[in-house]
Amino acid sequence: MTKQLGFLEERKEAGYRPVGIRLLDFEPVEQDLTHEQVREQTARCMECGTPFCHGYGCPLSNAIPECNELVYQGRWSDALELLLATNPFPEFTGRICPAPCETSCVAGLGGEAVTIRQMERAVMDYGYDNGLLGMPPSMRRDELVAVIGSGPAGLAAAEMLNRAGYRVTVYDEAKRPGGILRYGIPNFKLDKQVVDRRIRLMEQEGIAFECGVRVGEDVSYHYLKDRYDAICLCCGSRAPRDMKVPGRENKGIHFAMDFLMQQNRRDDGEEIPPEQEISAAGKHVVVIGGGDTGSDCLGTSLRQGAASVMQLEIMPRPPAERAEDNPWPEWPRTNRESSSHKEGWDRRWCVNTRQVRGKEGQVTGLQCVEVEWVKENGRFQMVEKKGSEFELEADLVLLAMGFVGPGENKLADVLGLTKDARGNIQVNANHQTSVPDLFAAGDMVSGQSLVVRAIADGMETAKGIQRVLEQKAGDVPSSPASP
Ligand SMILES: Cc1cc2nc3c(=O)[nH]c(=O)nc-3n(C[C@H](O)[C@H](O)[C@H](O)COP(=O)(O)OP(=O)(O)OC[C@H]3O[C@@H](n4cnc5c(N)ncnc54)[C@H](O)[C@@H]3O)c2cc1C
């Protein structure tokens, strides 16, 4: 055990910058614990015989109790090595993972979970601060692999294939790599310098990045097939769910990702042409959708200087505590508040939008109605509450109602890759699509999910690619390293 009775000590979090100050900028809201504080917190780990954090909670199966023990002993480099063995990017998960490891931590059963996410982040930052990262592979193979898409799934696949000695090029249609890490998640949750730092490291390790290239249009499947031994599609799942109500055609209604992406581009120093500008400044903003994307819109609108922000959710407000049918160590279906929700907001549940009000083609408001969820024949049905209609003033409406699948992808569409009922790409146990030299990973396969799951899937796909290439080659790496 890390420390006898250590679990009796209090959980300490790093906390957030004060609201009044953090709303003045787009800088990260979460603060850091000192190394000594992190070490004290790891003492709370009980090194359980069955560590649910590791086996049940973490999609990457991070060896959490062992990492805690090493940090407690002050063996930061060893903790880093152990963490990197299962998670190539703890600096991302240590910042933006909802941490299913913590919700399944045994200490959380009768008290408060160990601060695992903060430990990960501190261990990784120790690695960067002490120059312990960025070693090119010790051997190189002849085979070349193209990874399409540089979100967490693509980066994880590239990193693992490069570690195994393959020569990897990552293509992305965006100007800069990172996928949703760069263009979706706001800077106040994930500092883009953290993404830049990782990309520099990957380049140093020998991975090439080709940005501004839309695969399927700027380069074809045949172009890639002639040059690469395997191709891995990691193009995400970004087709947004639309709101089909009268008045939808009014101006001033935008998809959440368009709004968030623009702010991230602005933070990156890009000029947004005035005719494309989506701004919440001085506006009454209504965010439709009560999930994380909606809360990112909320925080971004407040920082842009919105006059008011209202977030609407069609489902009922989740309970404050776990329901009986949702026991530990399951993911808690409780009401969660993001840092943005603590910044001044208005939020309503069980609300449906009936109609958009507009004047001269510009949105002016929404007609909404309260709803109830009634169980009929074992299924919940939405029923409008009579007489509960109400109007909301709005001159910017942001649609954050989730994603319906990968959407159009010329390469996948031209090749007629097999998809499931939801339009996600289907893969076999080696993560091969219906075209054998084409593999797929991440949200494109699972549907919109979490960064940690995209990383895990990218890693598994890299293993599948390696298995298939080794079978073809009869194994044995061929030349010394030359990244
Ligand atoms: C706004 C928002 C906030 C989120 N916040 C969190 C969070 O805080 N924590 C969390 O765990 N998860 C979060 N998620 C979910 C998480 O970001 C995704 O599950 C994850 O990014 C999926 O990774 P991916 O690599 O599969 O796809 P993506 O990150 O979507 O990357 C796909 C990449 O493929 C590129 N691409 C697409 N088509 C082509 C093409 N034809 N040619 C070349 N390139 C192409 C795209 O430009 C993109 O860079 C959030 C999602 C959103 C939308």
Summarised one tens digit per residue, pLDDT across range 229-241 is 999 999 999 999 9
> Could you read off the pLDDT of 228-281 as tens digits, one per residue?
999 999 999 999 999 999 999 999 999 999 999 999 999 999 999 999 999 999
State the chain's mean pLDDT as an integer: 95
Does the beta carbon of 461 lie inside 6 Å of ligand 1? no
Q: How far apart are the first and last CA of the chain?
A: 42
Does the beta carbon of 224 lie inside 6 Å of ligand 1? no
> Could you read off the pLDDT of 333-385 as tens digits, one per residue?
999 889 999 998 789 999 999 999 999 999 999 999 999 999 998 899 999 99
Residue 416 carries which DSSP code?
Answer: T
Does the beta carbon of 216 lie inside 6 Å of ligand 1? yes
Alpha-carbon gap, residue 242 to 450, rounded angstroms: 21
Query: In the block, which residue shows the tokens 């063996």?
Result: 75
Handedness of CA 84, 86, 88, 91 (dihedral sign): negative
Residue 184 carries which DSSP code?
Answer: T
Atom of ligand 1 nearest to the CA of 214: 42
> How much is the pLDDT for 381?
94
Alpha-carbon gap, residue 45 to 56, rounded angstroms: 16
> How much is the pLDDT for 35?
95
Which residues touch 459 (CB under 8 Å, ≥6 apart)?
A: 60, 88, 156, 157, 160
> Could you read off the pLDDT of 35-55 as tens digits, one per residue?
999 999 999 999 899 999 998
> How much is the pLDDT for 6?
82
Atom of ligand 1 nearest to the CA of 190: 8
Alpha-carbon gap, residue 170 to 162, rounded angstroms: 11
The share of the chain scoring above pLDDT 90, in percent, equals 92
Alpha-carbon gap, residue 42 to 51, rounded angstroms: 14
Alpha-carbon gap, residue 290 to 240, rounded angstroms: 15
Of 121, 184, 213, nearest in space to 449 by CA: 184
For 294, phi then psi, to 5°, come to -60, -40
Does the beta carbon of 173 lie inside 6 Å of ligand 1? yes
Average pLDDT over residues 22-28: 98
The share of the chain scoring above pLDDT 70, in percent, equals 98
Instruction: Indicate the burial class of 233 (C-beta count within 10 angstroms; 0-12, 13-18, 19 or more).
Output: buried
> How much is the pLDDT for 125?
96
Alpha-carbon gap, residue 445 to 436, rounded angstroms: 16
Does the beta carbon of 154 lie inside 6 Å of ligand 1? yes
> How much is the pLDDT for 474?
82
Q: Is a pLDDT exceeding 80 seen at residue 157?
A: yes
pLDDT bin (cut points 50, 70, 90) of residue 33 is: very high
Does the beta carbon of 179 lie inside 6 Å of ligand 1? yes
> How much is the pLDDT for 351?
98
Contact between residue 431 and residue 441 where contact means Cβ atoms under 8 Å apart: yes
- Rounded to the nearest whole angstrom, what is the distance from the C-alpha of residue 178 to the centroid of ligand 1? 8
Q: Which domains does the chain have, with CATH numbers?
A: 6-129 (1.10.1060.10), 139-238+404-480 (3.50.50.60), 248-324+331-401 (3.50.50.60)
Atom of ligand 1 nearest to the CA of 235: 34
Two structure tokens written together for 462 = 């890299």
Q: Is a pLDDT exceeding 70 seen at residue 477?
A: no
Q: Is a pLDDT exceeding 70 seen at residue 481?
A: no
Q: Is a pLDDT exceeding 50 seen at residue 192?
A: yes
Q: Which residue is closest in CA terms to ligand 1's atom 21? A: 180
> How much is the pLDDT for 482?
46
Alpha-carbon gap, residue 156 to 460, rounded angstroms: 9
For 45, phi then psi, to 5°, come to -70, 135
Distances (CA, A) of 134 to 86, 403, 419, 469, 481: 16, 35, 37, 25, 14
> Could you read off the pLDDT of 101-118 as tens digits, one per residue?
999 999 998 899 999 999
Q: Is a pLDDT exceeding 80 seen at residue 421?
A: yes
Average pLDDT over residues 14-31: 97
- Rounded to the nearest whole angstrom, what is the distance from the C-alpha of residue 262 to the centroid of ligand 1? 15
Helix axes 76-86 and 116-129, enclosed angle (nearest 10): 110
pLDDT bin (cut points 50, 70, 90) of residue 2 is: low
Mutate which of 235, 237, 254 for ligand 1 pocket (most atoms within 8 A of beta carbon):
235
Average pLDDT over residues 115-123: 97
- Rounded to the nearest whole angstrom, what is the distance from the C-alpha of residue 320 to the centroid of ligand 1? 30
Atom of ligand 1 nearest to the CA of 217: 41
